[in-house]
Amino acid sequence: MSNSSLARAPAVAEPGGSEFAYDRVELTDDDFRQAAALVGQLTGIVIKEHKREMIHSRLSRRLRALGLQSYKAYLEFVQSDAGKNEIGEFINVVTTNLTSFFREDHHFQDLKNKVLAQIAAEGRSRVRIWSSACSSGEEPYSIAMTVRESDAAQAKDLKILATDLDTNILARASAGVYAQDRVTAIPEKMLRASTKQVGDKFEFTSEVKRMITFRQLNLLTRWPFSGPFDVIFCRNVLIYFDADTKREVVNRMAQMLRPNGTLYLGHSESLLGEHALLSSEGKTIYRRRA
């Protein structure tokens, strides 16, 4: 079968005329090893054996979409010249997006009471904040709402950059629309000031949306910006990297911070020992040494 025909292969009917049972296609040991290696190559994420069922379930969606009947055929296709456009879909389905508004609230308290308060006290007009794994947008919108409640909101050149690997999730984040059960962590006053209700959903106002620029970015590739950033959020993504990749990403982020700039990591993440550029303030809060 040619590479071009793989993308258009029709679903095969089972005896009795029923549709091909994609959920029963076997993910062999070799398929899993190859899929995990490809994830690591493209994203740096380490896929271990306990994620096997997740890989099986999520890739079955792509088999169904393309009409392929084996994971081997799919993995050959995604690595072929004809499958270049499928790489983005592959990344989207295997990356995990789990977040909430004001997750790990102590980071936002530190952002408001220390970082933004200091910026306002210094009267700085340029402020740069990066949400480096923004998922479906709850983190950058939480940052924007925190900024709006601080004196630093008066800064004339304040920008929030929100990036993620998953293009589908970025589209949802950019839309800024959330179901009622997703916004329960937002204080009522803040919710009224930052969103408008549309039916049974809440949409962030244009004023809030304008504060954030959403961009697709693979943290393992070249970063198309030079900083410096006052704040970087890199939460709940390093846990998917091996030690060397984690160290490399943290080093690059530390170099992107201005002196006294702040790096927030996830609750289950920490630096591997002492860092030449970063000092710990506890609770996964790190400051760039002056």
Is 58 among the residues known to form the active site? yes
- Apex CA 57: angle with CA 52 and CA 62, to 5°? 120
Distances (CA, A) of 194 to 105, 223, 253: 18, 30, 30
> Which entry of 52, 58, 124, 148 is annotated as an active-site residue?
58
> Which entry of 164, 235, 287, 288 is annotated as an active-site residue?
164
Residue type at 165?
L
Please provide residue 259's backbone torsions phi and psi, each rounded to the nearest 5 degrees.
Answer: -55, 135
Distances (CA, A) of 13 to 16, 67, 91, 273: 8, 11, 29, 56
Distance CA 251, CA 256 (A): 9
Distance CA 259, CA 257 (A): 6
Going by C-alpha positions, the residue among 157, 162, 150 that lies closest to residue 120 is 150
Q: Find tokens 């029963």 and name the residue.
A: 24
Which residues are catalytically annotated? 58, 164
